[in-house]
Amino acid sequence: MTDASPEPAVPAAFDFSRLGRWPDVEAENLQAWDAADRLLLDTAAADLAAAAGGGTERKGSGAVVVIGDSYGALTLGAAAGHGLTGLRVHQDPLSGEQALENNARQLGLDGAYRPYALEPALVDGARLVLLRLPRSLDALEEIAGLIAAHASPDVRVYAGGRIKHMSTAMNDVLARYFGAVSAGLGRQKSRILTASSPLPPEDLPAPRFPVSQRHDVGLAVPLELWAHGAAFAGPALDIGTRFLLPLLADARSAERAVDLGCGTGAITAYLALTRPQLQVIATDQSAAAVSSARLTAAANGVGDRVTVRRGDALAGFPDASEDLVVLNPPFHIGATVHAGIALKLFADAGRVLKPGGELWTVWNSHLMYKPALNRLVGPTREVARNPKFTVTVSTRR
Ligand SMILES: C[S@@+](CC[C@H](N)C(=O)[O-])C[C@H]1O[C@@H](n2cnc3c(N)ncnc32)[C@H](O)[C@@H]1O
């Protein structure tokens, strides 16, 4: 892997150190931008400059799209460095959207972009796409398919990431949708793939997403899971969730339950199917999760008792308002293993539960969350344990 490539030509005007991660976890070892962001901006610099200087029909016309920006480095680097406005931006996590909004406000750049869902309008007629490569090939495939089907035929996609998170399978995914795909030189452990010449509609693969899968082995009721590309576990049933579901028969009775970090909505649909009077609020900060959970609820015939919200933890839920919260917490933040996010979700569940309310959760046993659950929610009992997972119930004091 060579590290030889041009010196950073990122616009000097942009000071990455002014970017923050809030409301995402802030920590010494976590920063709001990285070398892949800088390499993307450098690699695309000539195209960004051309978009900015290409006359009124280009400038501010939304010809430039940013997908997967973590905290705003790409969007605000392009806006500040090239005077671009009208950038169209999609970020899957709500915390990324909020961090970009916050950083844009701090830098006086809030008018430079507009947030979009992962929908045709995001890329319609786009000529330049800056993409932070997602970890999941399915997420990349859904994005690649959308760009190829809706962007301008002369679109150029710069897709960048950290080399340790990239694989040649990513080139293969892009090559299913674009006639030209090439890999640039590595720099500071980062690399850019460039894709252009989207295939004509008749040669594009049939749209694959959202995908569905039926699960009936070992469950009291069969479940049909639907998933967009970026949703956790895709249409598969996570093995921790599979361990948890049958145990929920012993969760307290409640008129309403909250599925915190609902992903594709497996817990939501299972609870609604096994408790025919129950209302469920499913919530997740991922846009793909929220769209997937809505599809899952409808496919299992429980859409009328399920409300799906996009939100950070339980923001918007009043204190002491809920009887039952169920959670299979994430333990990765992007690529960084970090327990902070699970602790934040436990604390918010503790805040939102009524006295006597229960948090049911499943976690990798090595994480030893019991002391944290005791502290943040209330007395915590182990319900079951297998070689990998522990299921606990914590009762709010
Ligand atoms: C381990 S997955 C579980 C998904 C689903 N409940 C299941 O059992 O298959 C954790 C989920 O938490 C979501 N998540 C992560 N951080 C979150 C946050 N701050 N607020 C809400 N949801 C979050 C992720 O998007 C992901 O869908």
> From the CB of 285, is ligand 1 less than 6 Å away?
yes
Domains of the chain, earliest start first = 16-203 (3.40.50.150), 211-395 (3.40.50.150)
Please name every residue paired with 190 in a beta bridge, in sequence order, or none if there are none. Answer: 162, 187
Three-state secondary structure readout of 72-91: CHHHHHHHHHHCCCCEEEEC
**What is the whole-number distance in angstroms between the Cα of residue 4 and the centre of ligand 1?**
39
Please name every residue paired with 281 in a beta bridge, in sequence order, or none if there are none. Answer: 258, 307
Angle at 104 (CA atoms; ends 130, 133), nearest 5 degrees: 25
In this structure, what token pair is assigned to residue 219?
């469950």
According to the model, what pLDDT value does residue 2 have?
39
Return all residues near 311 (Cβ < 8 A) that are at least 6 apart: 94, 283, 284, 285
**What is the whole-number distance in angstroms between the Cα of residue 194 and the centre of ligand 1?**
31
> From the CB of 235, is ligand 1 less than 6 Å away?
no
- Rounded to an integer, the average pLDDT of 285-292 is 98
DSSP strand E in the chain: where?
64-67, 87-90, 113-115, 128-132, 156-162, 178-183, 190-198, 211-215, 223-227, 256-260, 279-284, 306-310, 322-327, 332-333, 336-337, 353-364, 380-385, 389-395
- Tell me the whole-structure pTM to 2 decimals: 0.93
| Helices 35-43 and 73-82: angle between axes, nearest 10 degrees | 40
Phi, psi dihedrals of residue 277, rounded to the nearest 5°: -95, -10
> From the CB of 190, is ligand 1 less than 6 Å away?
no
Cis peptide before 210 (omega within 30 of 0): yes
| Ligand 1 probe mutation, 232, 258, 317, 359, most atoms within 8 A of CB | 232
Quick: pLDDT tens for 351-393.
999 999 999 999 999 989 999 999 999 999 999 999 999 999 9
CA gap 150, 390 in Å, rounded: 45
- Parallel, antiparallel or unpaired: strands 380-385 and 389-395: antiparallel
Quick: pLDDT tens for 70-115.
999 999 999 999 999 999 999 999 999 999 999 999 999 999 999 9
According to the model, what pLDDT value does residue 7 have?
46
According to the model, what pLDDT value does residue 337 have?
47
pLDDT category of residue 54 using cuts at 50, 70 and 90: low
Q: How much of the chain is helix, strand and coil, in % rounded to 5?
A: 35, 25, 40
Quick: pLDDT tens for 4-29.
444 444 445 689 999 999 988 777 77
**What is the whole-number distance in angstroms between the Cα of residue 164 and the centre of ligand 1?**
24
According to the model, what pLDDT value does residue 25 have?
73
User: Percent of the chain beyond pLDDT 90?
Assistant: 87
Quick: pLDDT tens for 163-211.
999 999 999 999 999 999 999 999 999 999 999 999 999 999 999 999 9
**What is the whole-number distance in angstroms between the Cα of residue 231 and the centre of ligand 1?**
9
Angle at 349 (CA atoms; ends 343, 353), nearest 5 degrees: 150
In terms of Cβ atoms closer than 10 Å to its own Cβ (0-12, 13-18, 19+), residue 202 is exposed
**What is the whole-number distance in angstroms between the Cα of residue 146 and the centre of ligand 1?**
24
In ligand 1, the atom with minimum distance to the C-alpha of 312 is 20
